[in-house]
């Protein structure tokens, strides 16, 4: 099965599979009907503190990714990640984010972790 990252503002595509919003906040100006989100595991998103730190430009993407992975070790996040891994092992999954640069966002970190879990 495949895991991909897309902006939530892009129109849904037939190959998206399970559409998972991985942002803590609902995307601005987007209706729930238009987003066609299947799951929204808020406990899998970076903490507000980490998100603000990264968006303030205080650290590199690599440092952000390391801190985010450490947050994913917390019990609630680890459980949600395990469930998402199980889904990704059975179906195509598209991680949705409002980030303007999804390739350097937490969604890319999640995608990498999910893909590593499938091997």
Q: Where are the domains of the chain?
A: 3-117
- pLDDT given for residue 119 in this prediction: 41
Please write the tens of the pLDDT for every residue from 56-85.
Answer: 988 899 999 999 999 999 999 999 999 999
Please write the tens of the pLDDT for every residue from 9-47.
Answer: 999 999 999 999 999 999 999 999 999 999 999 999 999
Q: Is 19 strand, coil or helix? A: strand
Q: How far, in Å, are 3, 18, 114 from residue 86 at the CA level?
A: 12, 12, 9
d(CA 40, CA 21): 5
Contact 117, 42 (CB under 8 A): no
């Amino acid at each position: 099965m495949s895991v991909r990252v897309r902006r939530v503002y892009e129109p849904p595509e037939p190959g998206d599979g399970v559409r998972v919003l991985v942002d803590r906040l609902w995307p601005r100006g987007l209706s729930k009907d238009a987003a066609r989100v299947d799951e929204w595991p808020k406990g899998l998103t970076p903490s507000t503190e980490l998100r603000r730190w990264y968006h303030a430009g205080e650290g590199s993407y690599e440092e952000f990714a390391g801190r985010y992975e450490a947050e994913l070790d917390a019990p609630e996040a680890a459980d949600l990640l395990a469930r998402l891994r199980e889904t990704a092992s059975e179906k195509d999954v598209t991680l949705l984010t409002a980030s303007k640069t999804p390739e350097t966002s937490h969604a890319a970190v999640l995608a990498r972790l999910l893909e590593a879990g499938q091997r």
